[in-house]
Amino acid sequence: MSLANDLLKAFEPEIELMALVPSDGGRFEVTVNGKLVYSKLQTKRHAEPGEVVGLVQKLLKHALSEVEG
**pLDDT top residue among 33 and 9:** 9
Angle between helical axes of 51-68 and 3-11 (0-180°, round to 10): 30
In one letter, which amino acid is 5?
N
For residue 61, what are the domain limits? 3-68
For residue 53, pLDDT beyond 90 = yes
Highest mean pLDDT pick, 10-19, 26-35, 38-47, 58-67: 38-47
The rounded mean pLDDT for the chain is 87
- CATH number for the domain harbouring residue 7: 3.40.30.10
**40: Cβ contacts below 8 Å, ≥ 6 apart:** 26, 27, 28, 29, 46, 47
Question: How many domains is the chain built from?
Answer: 1
C-alpha–C-alpha distance, residues 64 and 62, integer Å: 5
**pLDDT grade, residue 56 (50/70/90)?**
very high
The answer to whether residue 1 scores a pLDDT higher than 70 is: no
At residue 44, does pLDDT exceed 80? yes
